[in-house]
Amino acid sequence: MTKFDTAMGGGMWRVVFFERRGSHVHMDKTGPWLPGKAKAKAWADWFADQGYHVALQDQGGGLEKLSQGLPG
């Protein structure tokens, strides 16, 4: 991913789902890769509204937490 893609939110992104198990948080599942951060963020927001703990992952593997309490 180039600096331009990162700055513009381009590249491929996906929603990552986390599950709480006692005092631990585990990455549970990942959604499909989506073209662009805005589309992935829209899906992540919808799932968060449904009660899921979510983050966004870029194609380089970096995570952006969207739900409080997720591992940093």
Task: Give the number of residues written for the chain.
Answer: 72
Per-residue pLDDT at 21: 72
| pLDDT for residue 18 | 86
Where in the chain are the domains? Answer: 10-65
pLDDT of residue 60: 93
One pLDDT digit (tens) per residue for the chain, 72 residues: 455 444 455 799 999 998 877 777 667 788 999 999 999 999 999 999 998 889 999 999 998 988 776 555
Q: β-pairing, 24-30 with 12-21?
A: antiparallel
Kindly report the pTM of this predicted structure: 0.73
